[in-house]
Structures are given as structure tokens and as C-alpha cells.
Structure 1
């Protein structure tokens, strides 16, 4: 599955974490997570960093995972993704801002 570009995981109420194996999907561009009430963890930071083509992450209806982003514990895992939506709200990351200003050193 190295050419898989889109993954949509929805209605998995017992799913608690995503496997580090997700990092093997090196062509992945979009990841959508919907209505996974017990989902609390993304793959490790190292696994997420292998997803260099991942441009869009949408998380909705996953309250435990969404809560983990309010205390910034998981932001380092997704800071390279330019389009992030949490609970229906779009967030701009440093990766997205870097494209706007050209240099990450300009971002304060």
C-alpha cells in the first residue's frame, strides 16, 4: 500500500490508538478521523514524520484525541502538516505559515 493517498477512518468507537505502521504509508496526502470516541493517540512522532506528503488532517467526533491537542501534547507530531481541522475548526501550523512567508525564522 505504498501508493495509498487517502485514508478515512470513521465510526470506530472502540479504536484507542493508531499504529506506528501508518508511517509506512509514505504517499499518504489526506487522513480523516471521524467519530472514533475512544481514539486518544496518533502514531508516534517518528512514524508521523515519515508522512512527508501528508497535507491534510481532519479530526472530528474524536473527543479524547481533540482534547489531547488542547494541552499541546501531540502538536509536535503534526506540525509538518499544512491543513489541520480539529472538531471542524481549521488550524494553521508552522508548516502552513512557512509557505506564506517563505522562512520559518520569520514566524514568531
Structure 2
């Protein structure tokens, strides 16, 4: 374990190791997560060993579009986003396309800055948990890339009002848990008459809890 990892442990991070290197990173109450993620430790080949990532209780975290981070997470199987009250799961694929057009002759690194995590996680990610994200109002279109996702839990996201057609692209999804969300969301997901039922009816196990 190198010195820079030891320093990160002192910054309220929990990092679990195995003989193969990093297995799990939990950010906990680290208040300046975005600055941390711009550090060299998280822009290196170490990230290719991370299997579980928990980003929780980060009051200043607003975006997940981090340069040089998600493209290294090639083994990430579980992602938990919990109690990040300023976090917006930005639906910026149109913004990304516009950036690419505007910067077609520009620096490739500048273009990459606006890329969201979803397309990078299309192969490895199996489990996604979204918990207490007040600014989550709709599922980002980029989630359609998560074709290997098997379990999705959405808990206490009161402003999420529907399961959009993005869900139809999650063809490997076996379990959907909706817990303590809005009454409107639960009503839209009820079988067989809910407005969003056609978007989720392919999922084997669906749990709705008020």
C-alpha cells in the first residue's frame, strides 16, 4: 500500500484491500469529494481493481462527470450513491454531443471532461443503489447503457416521479426495489394499469414499498 493511499485513509476514506489491491472505496463524510477525485490516486491504474464504490454523505457533491475517473473503473460491480443532497444525476448526453461537435478540432481531454459514468460502466456494473437523492427528478438517459445491471434499488428519492423508457434498455435487470419514494411513483409502477408498468414489466422481481 503506497503512501498516497495511506494519506487518503486519514481523510475519512475507508479503503479495503485484498492481495489484488483495492476492492472497496467508501467516501463517507468527505466534504470535498470532487477535489479528491481530481487527485493522482484516482486517476491511475489502481481504479481498475475497484469492485465496490460507495459515495455517501458528501454535502458538496453536485456532479458525477469526473475527468479521468470512470473510464478506469473497468471492474466496478456495485455503485451506491446515498444521502448526497446536492447531487444531480445529470442528463447531459445531449450536452456531451454538443461539446463534441463544438470541440471536434479541440483537445480530446477537454471533450472527455463532460462524459458521465454510465457508458463506462455498461459492462461491469451489476448493482446500483440510489438512496436519499432529493435532486433526482428523472432517470438520466445515459442509464440505458447499463445493459449488464442486475439489481436496482431506489430509496427515499421523493422527487423521482416516474420510471422512464430508459428502463426498457436494462435488459439484464432482474430485481427492482422502490422503497419510500413518492406515492406518485409507486402508482405509476403498479401492475398492470400503472403508466410506467410497460417500462418495467420485463423485470422478474419488482418490490414496491411505501
- TM class by shorter chain equals 0.7 to 0.9
CA displacement at 1:43 relative to structure 2: 3.0
| Pairing 1:51–2:165 present | no
Find the aligned partners of 2:132 and 2:144 in 1 and give their Cα distance.
22
Choose which of 10, 13, 29 in structure 1 pairs with 2:131. 10
Choose which of 1, 18, 21 in structure 1 pairs with 2:142. 21
RMSD of aligned residue pairs (Cα, Å): 1.5
- Which stretches of structure 1, 4 residues or longer, exceed 3 Å deviation after superposition? none
Provide closer, same or farther for how the CA distance between residues 20 and 43 of structure 1 changes in structure 2, counting only shifts above 3 A: farther
Find the aligned partners of 1:19 and 1:43 in 2 and give their Cα distance.
9
| Structure 1: gaps (5+ residues) | 89-108
Q: Which residue of 1 aligns with 2:203?
A: 81
Note if contact 1:13-1:38 (Cα within 8 Å) is conserved in structure 2. Answer: yes
Choose which of 162, 168, 172 in structure 2 pairs with 1:41. 162
Name the SS for the 1:4 alignment partner: coil
Provide, for residues 3-32 of structure 1, a one-character-per-residue CA deviation record: whole Å limited to 9, x for no partner. Answer: 100000001123111112111011100000
Which structure has the larger Rg?
2
| Structure 2: gaps (5+ residues) | 1-120
Give the paired residue count: 86
TM (norm. structure 1) is 0.72
Q: Which moved more, 1:35-44 or 1:75-84?
A: 35-44
Provide closer, same or farther for how the CA distance between residues 21 and 43 of structure 1 changes in structure 2, counting only shifts above 3 A: farther
Find the aligned partners of 1:62 and 1:13 in 2 and give their Cα distance.
10
Note if contact 2:187-2:194 (Cα within 8 Å) is conserved in structure 1. Answer: no
Provide, for residues 37-88 of structure 1, a one-character-per-residue CA deviation record: whole Å limited to 9, x for no partner. Answer: 11102232xx322211100000011113113224510000001000000016
Find the aligned partners of 1:43 and 1:74 in 2 and give their Cα distance.
7
Find the aligned partners of 1:66 and 1:14 in 2 and give their Cα distance.
18
